[in-house]
């Protein structure tokens, strides 16, 4: 039986790292063999693209270049790691996937929906996660948390309006797809983890 693909999404400072650790424990506790991935990244080539995307270049990085790099990294990960793992019956837990591009580039960078859809079909050919947990946080709160971790990377420096558009797109897409579950990441950590665990346990059953 093929495995399942679960993804954790959210703005900077939403608490994805602790959520990934919690969901990993839930899946492995249920007896499933698990592969963990992150995007952009997850293969040698995709990790090199990640460094390219996040680097603070002196030249302007165009929206189109950023978008294409994201999908180049994603298709490398999908074809070399995710699909093979699922075919072997392993479960895959992703720290970000396609919803990030639809929110960050589609919403934040305001790339046209039809262009986003064309690129998704070329790259992913209809592939989608079985479950996505979107950790929702106010951008101002999330950025303050991210600054507390250290220096912000190129994308994290895109400004509050960019992240508000990104959040709005996340919420719009979540409302349109019942495979995307919204978790209120502005609650206490205990309540956030309780909601995550309940959602994942329900999916596992």
Cis (ω within 30 of 0) for the bond into 40?
Answer: yes
* Domain residue limits at 171: 5-204
Q: What is the pLDDT of residues 51-65, one digit of tens each?
A: 999 888 999 999 999
Query: Based on the structure, what is the number of domains in the chain?
Result: 1
Percent of the chain with pLDDT over 70: 100
Confidence of residue 180 (pLDDT cuts 50, 70, 90): very high
In CATH, what number is assigned to the domain containing residue 62? 3.40.50.300
In DSSP terms, 35 is beta-bridged to 92
Confidence of residue 153 (pLDDT cuts 50, 70, 90): confident
Q: What is the pLDDT of residues 127-149, one digit of tens each?
A: 999 999 999 999 999 988 888 77
163 has a pLDDT exceeding 90:
yes
Q: Per DSSP, which regions of 39-196 are E strands?
A: 91-95, 131-136, 180-184
Q: What is the pLDDT of residues 90-109, one digit of tens each?
A: 999 999 999 999 999 999 99
Q: What is the pLDDT of residues 38-49, one digit of tens each?
A: 999 999 999 999
Dihedral sign, CA of 34, 42, 87, 183?
A: positive
């Amino acid at each position: 039986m093929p495995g399942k693909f679960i993804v954790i999404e959210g703005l900077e400072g939403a608490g994805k790292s602790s959520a990934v650790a919690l969901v990993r424990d839930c899946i492995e506790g249920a007896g499933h063999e698990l592969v963990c991935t992150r995007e952009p990244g997850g293969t040698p080539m995709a990790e090199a693209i990640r460094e390219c995307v996040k680097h603070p270049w002196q030249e302007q990085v165009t929206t189109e270049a950023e978008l294409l790099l994201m999908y180049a990294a994603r298709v490398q990960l999908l074809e070399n790691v995710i699909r093979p793992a699922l075919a072997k019956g392993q479960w895959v837990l992703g720290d970000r996937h396609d919803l990030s591009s639809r929110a960050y580039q589609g919403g934040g960078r305001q790339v046209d929906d039809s262009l986003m859809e064309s690129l998704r079909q070329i790259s992913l050919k209809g592939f989608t996660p079985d479950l996505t947990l979107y950790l929702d946080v106010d951008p101002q709160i999330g950025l303050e948390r991210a600054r507390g971790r250290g220096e912000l990377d190129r994308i994290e420096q895109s400004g509050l309006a960019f992240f508000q558009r990104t959040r709005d797109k996340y919420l719009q897409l979540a409302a349109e797809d019942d495979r995307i579950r919204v978790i209120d990441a502005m609650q206490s950590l205990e309540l956030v983890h309780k909601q995550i665990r309940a959602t994942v346990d329900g999916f596992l059953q």
